[in-house]
């Protein structure tokens, strides 16, 4: 019996994607294991670094490329949805409201600093957005969330993630020392770490190295901050949609444009996942497994992005993106302290 047309379409596509997908999965497993041994660096950073090393020392052949591209785009979206199952909206409501003013200020400062400093340094728009979003919200996860919307080059994504995590590592080592030198309260340090350090694992590491109370507070602030990726993604989606609409008008082909083609539907599924978690429909017994799955998916996705990164093109970008990341990170860290000082929360 002849195969159905759908099966005939799926099987060649699956065969084309399998080599690259397996490569990313294999490297991702190694990265996750190493991340357990080096928690200050973390699996996502190790994954993208290993991907970059393999890409530039032992470049995968053409048969790997469809699977690598698929993993970097779709597995990345699945990881964001899986994260939603671990984020209870009610869990962070009280602390989120308490920290919202500081969070909004630091986010605004991050985006303004990224735009102004990026313009002064001559960094192009998509890389400015990636570094700004990564610094303002939640590091690699935020970059992963906006990547399908603005569709940057893979080497830009890899460069942005590498830059963001470089300053994460510095913050983990530097923030507790500075907090003690400034005699910050546990709540004050937790709010500072939760609003000024990018990646969740780095926030947790810095917070709990200061004190248990600071760690608890920093973690909840960070979770609240992470939810703001939703409105940011929606704003970016509508901005991209408006730009595409203008482009089609200029080309005389308005009818070919559809908002549905650019809308980040995975964000809606993220909301559904969060609502399910909030409603208590996710059994406690399986929540650690879901968290582990989400972590692994994002490591695999970022590994695939690393496998697509061209170091020569990244080197051609020069030191300017790194200077941009440094400038935005300093602006966010200082603004968080200033706001806390003004409202008496230090």
Residue 337 CA: distances (Å) to CA of 70, 123, 297? 41, 27, 34
Whether pLDDT at 201 is above 60: yes
C-alpha to C-alpha distance for 192 and 340, rounded to whole angstroms: 8
Helix (H, G, I), strand (E, B) or coil at 282: coil
Cβ atoms of 208 and 215 within 8 Å: the answer is yes
Give the start-end residues of each E strand in 38-121: none
- In tens, the pLDDT along 208-260 reads 878 878 887 887 788 778 777 778 877 888 877 777 677 666 555 444 445 55
C-alpha to C-alpha distance for 326 and 181, rounded to whole angstroms: 22
Sorted by sequence, the CB contacts under 8 Å of residue 223 that are 6+ apart come out as 87, 91, 92, 96, 200
Q: Is 124 exposed, middle or buried (0-12, 13-18, 19+ CB in 10 A)?
A: middle
Q: Exposure string (b/e) for 177-203, b if CB count within 10 Å is 16 or more?
A: eebeeeebbbbbbbbbbbbbbbbbbbb
Torsion of CA 50, 51, 53, 58, to 10 degrees: 130
CB atoms within 10 A of CB 284: 7
C-alpha to C-alpha distance for 123 and 118, rounded to whole angstroms: 5
pLDDT at 306: 81
Cβ atoms of 312 and 57 within 8 Å: the answer is no
pLDDT at 9: 39
Overall average pLDDT of the 312-334 stretch: 80
Report the run of H or E that residue 203 belongs to, with start and end.
Answer: helix 200-210
C-alpha to C-alpha distance for 134 and 200, rounded to whole angstroms: 12
pTM for the model stands at: 0.63
Residue closest to 17 by CA, chosen among 56, 64, 55, 57: 64
Q: Is 80 exposed, middle or buried (0-12, 13-18, 19+ CB in 10 A)?
A: buried
Whether pLDDT at 317 is above 80: no
- In tens, the pLDDT along 123-149 reads 888 888 888 888 888 777 778 778 878
Overall average pLDDT of the 203-209 stretch: 79
C-alpha to C-alpha distance for 84 and 77, rounded to whole angstroms: 11
pLDDT band with cut points at 50, 70 and 90 for residue 26: very high
N-term to C-term CA, the chain: 73
Average pLDDT of the chain? 79
Overall average pLDDT of the 8-26 stretch: 78
Residue closest to 215 by CA, chosen among 239, 189, 242, 240: 189
Whether pLDDT at 204 is above 90: no
Cβ atoms of 330 and 74 within 8 Å: the answer is no
């Amino acid at each position: 019996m002849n195969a159905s047309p759908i099966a005939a379409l799926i099987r060649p596509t699956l065969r084309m994607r399998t080599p690259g997908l397996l490569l990313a999965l294999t490297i991702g497993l190694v990265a996750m294991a190493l991340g357990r041994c080096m928690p200050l660096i973390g699996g996502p950073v190790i994954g993208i670094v290993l991907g970059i090393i393999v890409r530039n020392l032992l470049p995968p052949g053409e048969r790997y490329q469809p699977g690598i591209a698929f993993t970097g785009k779709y597995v990345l979206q699945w990881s964001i949805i899986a994260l939603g199952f671990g984020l209870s909206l009610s869990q962070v409501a009280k602390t989120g409201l308490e920290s919202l003013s500081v969070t909004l200020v630091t986010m605004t400062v991050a985006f303004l600093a990224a735009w102004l400093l990026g313009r002064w340094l001559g960094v192009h728009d998509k890389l400015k957005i990636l570094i700004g979003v990564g610094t303002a919200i939640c590091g690699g996860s935020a970059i992963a969330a906006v990547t399908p919307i603005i569709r940057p080059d893979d080497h830009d994504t890899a460069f942005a993630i590498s830059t963001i995590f470089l300053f994460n590592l510095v913050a983990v080592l530097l923030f507790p020392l500075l907090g003690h030198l400034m005699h910050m309260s546990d709540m004050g340090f937790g709010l500072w770490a939760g609003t000024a350090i990018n990646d969740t694992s780095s926030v947790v590491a810095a917070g709990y190295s200061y004190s248990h109370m600071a760690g608890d507070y920093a973690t909840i602030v960070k979770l609240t901050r992470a939810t703001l990726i939703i409105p940011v993604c929606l704003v970016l989606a509508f901005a991209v949609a408006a730009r595409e609409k203008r482009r089609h008008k200029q080309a005389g082909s308005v009818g070919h444009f559809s908002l549905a083609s650019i809308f980040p539907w995975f964000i809606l599924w993220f909301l559904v996942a969060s609502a399910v978690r909030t409603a208590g429909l996710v059994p406690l017994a399986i929540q650690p497994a879901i968290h582990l799955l989400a972590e692994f998916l994002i490591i695999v996705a970022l590994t695939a992005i690393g496998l697509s990164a061209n170091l020569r093109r990244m080197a051609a970008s020069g030191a300017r993106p790194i200077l941009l990341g440094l400038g935005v990170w300093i602006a966010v860290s200082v603004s968080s302290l200033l706001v806390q000082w003004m409202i008496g929360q230090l």
